[in-house]
């Protein structure tokens, strides 16, 4: 009797979950076989164009600059190299086309963030480019390009991490042999500030703390994870507010033992009491880098994830196990508030020729499921995406995947993992046509409207099929700057909604409350998705200020 009842309840629960979509699956599509460069860094802008770039110091790319433009730079031997190829492109998502861009200084292994006005500010790089600040203001007419200032930074920044701040500045943290941070733009003192934590987490020779994982906490402080340790940092006062416990196992997770991390979706509540949780997944065990470098032994990557509530009185890492090990995986927040883990390898580390056994299957992580059933393995790609690959979320819900070049130069033949110039998309199963009847389309407001903090905003949408009013929610996502398996500035807020009502035939309105402060959502452009039974609409862009 009881067991029958339980069976009925379980069956009902299972059927709800199936009807509500997003089981295993996902679909890969080749978008462009050759974009001319290997997309090492990517950023989506508010006009649905993606800026991609690689590096400028290895010779010719596979894409010519327009109008016979060229660049000359000195080689190591002092002779002049003439290069008439592009090392950066703008990808137009709607037309699936690229446009070559011109850059003079080397932005290899650099970092960046989009400013509140929507322009991409990218910082640092290599050699002559290591102090540069480069600005790309989006345009719709194909006339915009990089503007460079070679002396925009105080310190050289190579493998640093940037985070946009509530006051509209960026903080630029660390970089190779830089145990300090600085701000852009400069206000007041043009100095950099010491951050001993970066010195303490630096393994001499290996430097296992590059591209630290940085998140803006809901209290305005910064959560910083480097190597195998993490702190909460008050950048106003230059003090460590708290030190978190070690992740069990103590293995490194930062470059070159590259794991990845996200700030899990922030669920807005009345009074803006918001819980913040960080999830760190994968990486390479202690000694992997030395083993790969010295003896060509490629150690299995880590298959563990650690999750921590960063504002609890006694925060503890809760460990979980991925379906397979992964180093150099990317973690992306999807519009339905799940996490996609994609790309990378199951052995070795980041660095030239040091990854092995590509992981072709992405996995989905559902933060709201029970710990035993959070992961779902997705369909595989055919293309290994190893060192120097990248991935970002697009406004239509697809995931853009590009890059991969573990070689010092472009190398297409006779090597493991040839240089990849292709662009693919991964469409999570929520884009499957079988869910079209559930998919919302946003009717109003129009894209690129301005909104304020703590405001009520009505959003109108249509859905072809029957709407489950209590299964509609609205998510707001900041587009990330992705490189080296970390998506800087990635942030997802599940907005508080007040009511859903019918306003016409197949037309509905949901009223949401925008976040209360810049600590929750620094000002700038975000994508807004209406999500119905886990199926997201296409995004509109809003500028919160």
Closest approach, Cβ 57 to ligand NAG, in A, equals 17
Least CB distance to ligand NAG at residue 228 (A) = 4
Give the binding site for ligand NAG (CB under 6 A).
34, 62, 139, 141, 143, 149, 151-152, 186, 203, 205-206, 227-228, 246, 250, 290, 293-294, 412, 421
Residues 6+ apart with CB under 8 A from 109: 40, 55, 125, 126, 158, 159, 483, 484
Q: Provide the minimum distance between the beta carbon of 81 and ligand NAG in the complex, in angstroms, as a whole number.
A: 16
In terms of CB distance, is 81 or 457 closer to ligand NAG?
Answer: 81
For ligand NAG, which is the closer residue by CB, 204 or 271? 204
Give 206 or 359: the residue with its C-beta nearer to ligand NAG: 206
Q: Which residue is nearest to ligand NAG (CB)?
A: 250
Q: Which is nearer to ligand NAG, 256 or 440 (CB)?
A: 256
Smallest distance from ligand NAG to CB 276, Å: 23
Q: What is the DSSP letter of 121?
A: E
For 343-376, letters b (16+ CB in 10 Å) and e give: bbbbbbbbbebbbbbbbbbbbbbbeeeeeeebbb
Rounded to the nearest 5 degrees, what angle is found at the Cα of 539, between the Cα atoms of 533 and 542? 125
CB of 375 to ligand NAG, least distance (A): 25
CA distances from 271 to 144, 267, 517, 544 (A): 42, 12, 11, 19
Residue 201 vs 381, nearer CB to ligand NAG: 201
Task: Say which residues have a Cβ less than 8 Å from residue 345's Cβ, sequence separation at least 6.
Answer: 301, 326, 327, 328, 355, 356, 357, 358, 359, 384, 386
Question: On the CB side of 268, how many CA atoms lie within 13 Å of its CA?
Answer: 24
- Pick between residue 365 and residue 387 the one whose CB is nearest to ligand NAG: 387
The DSSP H or E segment spanning 473 is strand 472-478
Contact yes or no for 518/529 (Cβ under 8 A): no
| Separation between Cα atoms, residue 429 and residue 91, nearest integer Å | 24
The alpha-helical segments, DSSP class H, found in 164-218 are: 196-200
Q: In this complex, which beta carbon is closest to ligand NAG, that of residue 210 or of residue 494?
A: 210
Give min distance, CB of 62 to ligand NAG, in A: 4
Output the smallest distance, CB 73 to ligand NAG, in A: 19
The residue among 497 and 543 lying less far from ligand NAG, judged by its C-beta, is: 543
Q: How far is CA 166 from CA 322, 475, 525, in A?
A: 34, 20, 13
User: Minimum distance from CB of 495 to ligand NAG (Å)?
Assistant: 30
């Amino acid at each position: 009797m009881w067991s029958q009842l339980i069976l009925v309840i379980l069956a009902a629960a299972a059927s709800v979950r199936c009807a509500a979509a997003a089981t295993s699956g996902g679909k890969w599509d080749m978008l462009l076989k050759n974009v001319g460069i290997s997309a090492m860094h990517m950023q989506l802008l508010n006009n649905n164009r993606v800026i991609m770039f690689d590096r400028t110091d290895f010779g010719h790319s596979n894409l010519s600059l327009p109008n016979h433009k060229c660049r000359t730079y000195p080689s190591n031997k002092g002779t002049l190299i003439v290069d008439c190829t592009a090392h950066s492109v703008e990808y137009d998502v709607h037309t699936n086309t690229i446009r070559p861009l011109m850059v003079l200084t080397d932005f290899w292994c650099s970092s960046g963030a989009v400013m509140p006005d929507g322009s991409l500010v990218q910082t640092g790089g290599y050699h002559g480019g290591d102090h540069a600040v480069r600005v790309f203001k989006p345009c719709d007419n194909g006339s915009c390009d990089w503007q460079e200032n070679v002396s925009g930074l105080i310190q050289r920044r190579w493998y640093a991490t940037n985070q946009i701040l509530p006051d509209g500045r960026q903080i630029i943290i660390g970089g190779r042999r830089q145990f300090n941070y600085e701000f852009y733009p400069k206000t007041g003192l043009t100095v950099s500030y010491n951050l001993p934590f970066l010195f303490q987490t630096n393994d001499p020779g290996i430097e296992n703390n590059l591209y630290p994982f940085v998140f803006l906490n809901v209290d305005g402080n910064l959560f910083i994870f480097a190597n195998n340790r993490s702190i909460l940092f008050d950048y106003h006062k230059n003090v460590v507010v708290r030190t978190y416990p070690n992740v069990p196992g103590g293995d490194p997770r930062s470059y070159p033992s590259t794991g990845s991390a996200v700030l899990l979706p922030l669920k807005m509540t009345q009074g803006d009491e918001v819980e913040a949780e960080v999830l760190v997944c994968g990486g390479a065990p202690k000694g992997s880098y030395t083993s790969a470098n010295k003896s060509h032994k490629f150690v299995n990557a880590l298959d563990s994830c650690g999750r921590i509530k960063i504002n609890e009185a006694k925060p503890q890492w809760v460990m979980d196990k991925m379906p397979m090990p992964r180093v150099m995986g990317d973690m992306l927040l999807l519009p339905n508030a799940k996490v996609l883990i994609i790309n990378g390898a199951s052995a070795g580390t980041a660095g030239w020729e040091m990854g092995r056994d590509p992981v072709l299957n992405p996995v989905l992580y559902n933060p709201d499921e029970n710990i035993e059933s959070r992961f779902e393995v997705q369909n595989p790609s055919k293309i290994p995406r190893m060192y120097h690959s990248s991935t970002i979320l697009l406004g239509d819900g697809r995931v853009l995947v590009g890059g991969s070049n573990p070689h010092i130069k472009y190398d297409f033949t006779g090597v493991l993992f040839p240089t990849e110039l292709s662009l693919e998309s991964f469409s999570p199963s929520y884009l499957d046509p079988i869910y079209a009847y559930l998919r919302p389309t946003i009717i109003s407001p129009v894209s690129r409207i301005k909104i304020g903090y703590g405001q009520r905003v009505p959003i109108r949408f249509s859905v072809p099929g029957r709407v489950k009013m209590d299964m509609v929610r609205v998510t707001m996502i900041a587009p990330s700057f992705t490189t080296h398996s970390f998506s800087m500035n990635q942030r997802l807020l599940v907005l508080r909604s007040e009511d859903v009502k019918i306003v016409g035939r197949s037309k509905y309105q949901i009223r949401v409350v925008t976040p209360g402060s810049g600590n929750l959502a620094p000002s700038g452009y975000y994508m807004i998705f209406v999500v119905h039974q886990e199926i997201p609409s296409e995004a509109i862009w809003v500028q919160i200020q």
